[in-house]
């Protein structure tokens, strides 16, 4: 049985994530049916592009309720990039509601002189919850690859797992109970991304 399932709802870097997990020798699979999501041990929710397009694709797939049920079961759930934003209540980028699994809003970076949007490239993160399983063997010098124009703002500071600064400090990762999200792309972040995905596979 797969240790990690990657949700395929038509949007997301499922292939790249699977390749990274295979490098770690983690048994992984793509899940695109209700039955496979229900049977998953750990679930990754990927996402790229626009928030509304991702939420619409998830709804159209019929798997949005499955993700909510999976989260309620207490099993580990990880959102990546827009997948992390989908865990929130909603986004300024569109009109659709998010999954609402973590009380947060997704907002556009504030306009600032000299600040290029999107925030793109490698950047260091600061681990706020150093004892969280996803942060194991990662230090503040760890660098991850970002591509995003919107950032998550949590209602509770206690839900911020890691922070990054780009004009302003924002949540690079969030977590509450069994649910977590990362704004960066671990599948594009070489050894740091491998470590984080390995940590997730061990939760």
Confidence of residue 24 (pLDDT cuts 50, 70, 90): very high
Instruction: Give pLDDT, residue 179.
Output: 98
Neighbouring-strand partners of residue 176: 179
Taking only the tens place, the pLDDT of each residue in 48-93 is 999 999 999 999 999 999 999 999 999 999 999 999 999 999 999 9
Active-site pick, 66, 93, 164, 185: 185
Q: Among this protein's residues, is 132 annotated catalytic?
A: no
Active-site pick, 54, 66, 93, 187: 187
Instruction: Give pLDDT, residue 1.
Output: 80
d(CA 57, CA 60) in angstroms, rounded, equals 5
Q: State both tokens at 101.
A: 């699994």
Q: Reduced to 3 states, what is the DSSP secondary structure of residue 112?
A: coil
The mean pLDDT value for 143-159 works out to 97
Active-site pick, 54, 66, 81, 154: 81
Q: State both tokens at 90.
A: 């909603």
Q: Among this protein's residues, is 185 annotated catalytic?
A: yes
Confidence of residue 113 (pLDDT cuts 50, 70, 90): low
Q: Over the range 111-144, which residues count as b (16 or more CB within 10 Å of their CB) and which as e?
A: eeeeeeeebeeeeebbbbbeebebbeebeeebbb
What secondary structure does DSSP assign to 47-69, as a single string?
Answer: --S-HHHHHHHHHHHT-HHHHHH
d(CA 130, CA 137) in angstroms, rounded, equals 9
CA proximity to 135, closest of 90, 174, 77: 174
Domain range for residue 128? Answer: 4-202
Taking only the tens place, the pLDDT of each residue in 159-182 is 999 999 999 999 999 999 999 999
Does pLDDT of 148 surpass 90?
yes
Instruction: Give pLDDT, residue 140.
Output: 80
Total domain count, the chain: 1
Q: Among this protein's residues, is 54 annotated catalytic?
A: no
Mean pLDDT of the chain: 96
CA 16 to chain CA centroid, Å, is 14
Q: State both tokens at 196.
A: 């984080």
Percent of the chain's residues with pLDDT above 70: 100
What CATH number is attached to the domain comprising 107? 3.40.50.880
Instruction: Give pLDDT, residue 139.
Output: 86
Distances (CA, A) of 55 to 37, 50, 109: 17, 9, 21
Instruction: Give pLDDT, residue 87.
Output: 98
């Amino acid at each position: 049985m797969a240790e990690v399932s990657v949700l395929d709802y038509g949007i997301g870097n499922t292939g790249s994530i699977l390749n990274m997990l295979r490098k770690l020798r983690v048994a992984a699979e793509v899940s695109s049916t209700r039955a496979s999501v229900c049977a998953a041990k750990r679930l990754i929710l990927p996402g790229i592009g626009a928030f509304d397009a991702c939420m619409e694709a998830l709804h159209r797939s019929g798997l949005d309720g499955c993700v909510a049920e999976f989260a309620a079961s207490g099993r580990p759930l990880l959102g990546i990039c827009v997948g992390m934003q989908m865990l929130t209540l909603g986004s300024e980028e569109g009109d659709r509601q998010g999954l609402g699994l973590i009380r947060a809003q997704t907002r556009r970076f504030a306009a600032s002189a000299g600040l290029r949007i999107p925030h793109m490239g490698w950047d260091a993160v600061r681990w706020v919850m150093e004892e969280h399983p996803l942060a194991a063997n990662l230090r503040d010098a760890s660098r991850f690859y970002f591509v995003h124009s919107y950032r998550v703002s949590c209602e509770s500071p206690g839900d911020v797992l890691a922070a990054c600064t780009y004009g302003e400090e924002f949540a690079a990762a969030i977590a509450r109970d069994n649910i977590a999200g990362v704004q960066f792309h671990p599948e594009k972040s070489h050894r740091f991304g491998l470590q984080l995905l390995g940590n997730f596979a061990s939760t």
